[in-house]
Amino acid sequence: MSLALGKTVREIEDEMSISEFEEWKMYLSENPSPSDVSEVQMAQLMMMVSSYMGGKSKAQDFLVSLKFKVKRAADKVTDMAEATVEQINKMAGL
């Protein structure tokens, strides 16, 4: 949370009420952080590269931090990435 808010833990402790902290916690649990979005995008790219090289990997195989978070998000990423690869393969005539 500290990184997402751009504040130190001490600043958060000093400036934020418990109720605001709980609201931020809920918001951050429901919305991906910028680093999570970047990781998902990189996992999608790695899955596509792997696919073109004959690999049978899934996007979630390349997710590091999200493996420790909600599995549901990883499943959505995998579905989106696999659909993207299928569309690219169709366009390429593969």
Q: pLDDT digit string (tens) for 35-58? A: 888 888 999 999 999 988 898 888
Q: Using an 8 Å Cβ cutoff, are 4 and 28 in contact? A: yes
Domain layout of the chain by residue ranges: 1-31, 33-94
Q: What is the pLDDT of residue 71?
A: 61
pTM for the structure as a whole: 0.48
